[in-house]
């Protein structure tokens, strides 16, 4: 080190400073300023996409399930139209999606609820009682099917989601649908 280095760092060239050496040691005020400036530049030039943290946590939650994944099966029927509650007397669109794997098949009908969210009516085969969980970025909701495998989730917001199904008696594997856009 030179005398100029001594003046710039405030340390004698013969003495090691607390900030010299391996990564993980404390940073001084100047280091903090440089890092803050760098953070401002990166935030301006390449900001973190909106919802990235929620999507990452969602993916990690699914990974923790370590479940068999159901395969999406295309249903080649035209979009159906169904009547909503009798009191409302309005028409709503319904989409049908089927997921299948070796141990279980699930069919879901998606329709718009009166509140603007989605109503998910589903059936699991073979018929049995299942714990049905809908995972989305930012959280999940759950319900139990009846003994015939039928279940309903009301007022589900649109967006990325997947279903996880477990037999209520704890036997058999947990299965998950791929992530789909509702």
Instruction: Quote the domain boundaries for residue 32.
Output: 3-45
State how many domains the chain has: 2
35 lies in the same domain as 98 = no
21 lies in the same domain as 94 = no
140 lies in the same domain as 158 = yes
Q: How far apart are CA 162 and CA 133, in angstroms?
A: 8
Do 97 and 105 touch, CB atoms closer than 8 A?
A: no
114 lies in the same domain as 75 = yes
Cβ-in-10-Å burial (0-12, 13-18, 19+) of 176 comes to buried
**In tens digits, what is the pLDDT along the chain, a chain of 182 residues?**
444 444 444 444 444 444 445 555 688 999 999 999 998 998 888 888 888 777 777 776 666 665 555 554 544 444 444 444 444 444 445 578 888 888 888 999 888 888 888 899 999 999 999 999 999 888 889 999 999 999 999 989 888 888 999 999 988 888 888 888 88
Give, for 62, the enclosing helix (H) or strand (E): helix 52-65
Q: How far apart are CA 41 and CA 165, in angstroms?
A: 45
97 lies in the same domain as 8 = no
65 lies in the same domain as 102 = yes
């Amino acid at each position: 080190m030179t005398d100029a280095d001594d003046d710039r760092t405030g340390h004698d060239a013969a003495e090691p400073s607390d900030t010299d050496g391996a990564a993980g040691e404390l940073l001084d005020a100047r280091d903090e300023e440089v890092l803050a400036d760098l953070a401002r530049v990166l935030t301006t030039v390449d900001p973190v996409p909106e919802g990235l943290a929620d999507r990452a946590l969602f993916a990690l939650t699914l990974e923790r399930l370590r479940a068999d994944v159901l395969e999406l099966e295309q249903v080649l029927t035209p979009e159906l139209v169904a009547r909503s509650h009798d009191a409302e007397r309005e028409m709503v669109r319904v989409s049908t999606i089927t997921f299948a794997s070796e141990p279980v098949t699930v069919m879901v009908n998606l329709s718009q609820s009166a509140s603007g969210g989605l109503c998910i009516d589903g059936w699991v085969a073979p018929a049995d009682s299942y714990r049905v969980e809908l995972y989305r970025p930012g959280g999940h909701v759950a319900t139990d099917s009846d003994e015939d495998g039928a279940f309903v989730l009301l007022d589900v917001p649109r967006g990325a989601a997947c279903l996880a199904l477990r037999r209520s008696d704890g036997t058999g594997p947990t299965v998950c649908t791929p992530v789909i856009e509702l």
